[in-house]
Amino acid sequence: MSDMFGNSIAALGDALRNGETTSVALAEEANDNHDRHGATLGAYKSRDPDRFLAEAHAADAAFAAGIDFGPLQGIPVSVKDLYGVNGYETCAGTPAPLPEKWEAEGPVVGALRQSLAPITGKTHTVEFAFGGIGSNPHWGTPRNPWDSNAHRVPGGSSAGAGVSLCEGSAILALGTDTAGSVRVPASFTGNVGIKTSFNRWSIDGIVPLSPSLDTAGVLARTVADAILAFAVIDPLTDFPGEALLEGLGDVGPSDIHIGVCDQFFDGCDPGVAEGVKAALDGMTAAGARVSAIALPEATEADEIFMRGGLAAPEFAAFINGEMLDRKATLDPNVAGRIDSMEAIPAIDYLARGERLRHLSMSLEDRMADVDVVIGPTVPITPPTCDAVADPEGYRVHNMGALRNTRTANMLNLSAVTIPVALDKAGMPVGLQVMAPLDEDERALAVALAFERLLGTAMDRIGVPPMCKG
């Protein structure tokens, strides 16, 4: 058995356990896929194929000894270059490695280790994760594989994560999300992305951007795959992966009450809102309840975000403290905002945090009558690198990319994005499911109901043109 593109984690797991394939065979296929596409797509900051194969051998040895560590054993996983990973330097998108302490593994990577999931390498990130486009002047910008003609951005800040899934060098990808940095690249590359609830997964062992907003997350090719990964990593889930997947699968369209907020659909690029509305119509036809909902809290949170939110002053403090030696070499798109970040008074920063707490509580009450709120994940088509080359073009597209995702971070929601369509430019469209804090399973259950009704990304939008053959 081979073809990692065409098989789920569950199917690959069955094949690993009944002897139809091996983890080494999957690793070799992943390496072959990277050899075929890697030079063009540029997903990785660093790879160690020998280390990757050695970890695959360890997974096979455990299977041979009758030891089973769960659904991710033997499954190739890429890791964003903000996470510490033994044997790899951590650059966090900067020109040179960070101090050795940032190579130490935290609990999220530790969960992969305990599962014997081989790590394929470390994927590119926007410098210090401060941006939603995915560009990096130091190491290059990974190419979005959905456009064979133009170099379009992959979304950020987990810029290489979704690309690694598309090229078939990984089956899962670890990312981080502070304003959309898992969901934007997942949406732009036609993958599933989970933004976990704040404080649900530890951010120890991850280079910080904004400790008040940072969350760890995962990208996958299907919701079912993402749920299995979630079960392995999540410290609050009592069910093994297969049991969690089965339980969430019991939620059908007729069990779901969806809130739809017009502001997430306004001003979308051609084909984006239409693709999400078509998916929503399918759920409605299958029995889901849909109600309009207004979210004035999101509007006020956006205003705070546009003034720098919490991330800008927290990042400025990190740069001017522990990372002061990196300030002179910052990406111009990051450095250009430093002056305004540093100018935010402490009293304003504290007032913003307090106001966002009140808005979060108000939003939780407002969402009590619906199960989830749904809208387009990203309202814009992935821009070309040329379109974001100048500061103004970058600013406009960066704000556009984060417009719908930042709500979940600023207002303490959990969120999942799933691919549902292609827009008028032939680029993937994501549908975002947002649920209250610590209701991650609810968001996943609704996303899974969409996937089971409408099909996976492979069913609906196919394979990226640059990854065929």
Name the 3-class secondary structure at 7: coil
pLDDT (0 to 100) of residue 334 = 85
Query: Measuring CA to CA, which residue among 431, 298, 272 is closest to residue 363?
Result: 298
Residue 1: is its pLDDT beyond 60?
A: no
Share of the chain above pLDDT 90, in %: 94
> Residue 379: which pLDDT band, with cuts at 50, 70 and 90?
very high
Residue 465 has pLDDT above 50, yes or no: yes
Q: What would the pLDDT profile of 408-435 be if each residue is shown by its tens digit?
A: 999 999 999 999 999 999 999 999 999 9
Please report the pLDDT score of residue 4 as a whole number: 64
Helix (H) or strand (E) holding 177: strand 172-177
The answer to whether the beta carbons of residues 432 and 374 sit under 8 Å apart is yes
Element (H, E) at 186: helix 183-189
- pLDDT exceeds cutoff 50 at 98: yes
Strand, helix or coil at 119?
A: strand
Give the span between the Cα atoms of 265 and 270, in whole angstroms.
Answer: 11
Q: What is the pLDDT of residues 349-368, one digit of tens each?
A: 999 999 999 999 999 999 99
Tokens at residue 210, please?
């904004």
Under 8 Å CB-to-CB from 268, ≥6 apart: which residues?
Answer: 376, 379, 380
The residue whose two tokens read 């306004």 is 266
The rounded distance, in Å, linking the Cα atoms of 162 and 182 is: 9
pLDDT of 241 reads 77
| pLDDT of res. 2 | 53
pLDDT at 262: 96
Q: Which residues contact 361 (CB under 8 A, 6 or more apart)?
A: none
In this prediction, residues 141-151 reach a mean pLDDT of 98
User: Residue 94: is its pLDDT beyond 80?
Assistant: yes
DSSP secondary-structure letter at 152?
B
Place of tokens 């827009």: 423
Q: What is the pLDDT of residue 226?
A: 98
| C-alpha of 139 from chain center | 20
CATH of the domain at 97: 3.90.1300.10
Helix, strand, or coil (residue 436): strand
pLDDT at 5: 63
Q: 393 — phi, psi (to 5°)?
A: -60, -40
Residue 337's pLDDT band, with cuts at 50, 70 and 90, is confident
Judge whether residue 128 has pLDDT over 70.
Answer: yes
- Output DSSP code: residue 421: E
Mean pLDDT of the chain: 96
Torsion of CA 218, 223, 225, 230, to 10 degrees: 50
Of 279, 231, 247, whose CA–CA distance to 450 is shortest? 279
Query: 438: left (phi > 0), else alpha (psi -120 to 50), else beta?
Result: left
pLDDT digits (tens, 9 = 90+) for 221-251: 999 999 999 999 999 987 777 899 999 999 9
Structure tokens at 86: 């033994």
pLDDT of residue 3: 63
- CA-closest candidate to residue 183, choices 433, 439, 427, 416: 416
The length of the chain is: 469
- What is the rounded CA–CA span in Å between residue 411 and residue 304? 11
Tokens of 96: 């040179």
Radius of gyration of the chain (CA): 20
Retrieve residue 155's tokens.
Answer: 């979304």
Burial 386-411, CB ≥16 within 10 A → b, else e: ebbeeeeebeebbebbbbbbbbbbbb
Token digits for 83? 């996470």
Report, as residue numbers or ranges, the catalytic residues. 80, 157, 181
**pLDDT value of residue 43:** 98
Cα separation, 173 vs 165, in Å, equals 7
Least Cα distance to 189 among 416, 460, 419 occurs for 419
Which domain, by its residues, includes 340? Answer: 4-467
What's the pTM? 0.97
Q: How many CA atoms lie within 13 Å of 162's alpha carbon, on the beta-carbon side?
A: 39
Domain count, the chain: 1
Torsion angles phi and psi, residue 79, rounded to 5: -130, 130
Q: How many beta carbons lie within 10 A of that of residue 364, not counting itself? A: 16
Residue (of 464, 469, 407) closest to 149 by Cα position? 464
The whole-angstrom separation of Cα 229 and Cα 426 is 29
Q: Express each pLDDT in 152-196 by its tens digit.
A: 999 999 999 999 999 999 999 999 999 999 999 999 999 999 999
Cis amide bond preceding 46, omega within 30 = no
Which of 69-73, 301-305, 340-344 is the least confident region?
340-344
Q: Which two tokens stand for residue 234?
A: 């999540």
**DSSP character string of 27-88:** HHHHHHHHHHHHHHH--EEE--HHHHHHHHHHHHHHHHTT----TTTT--EEEETTB--TTS
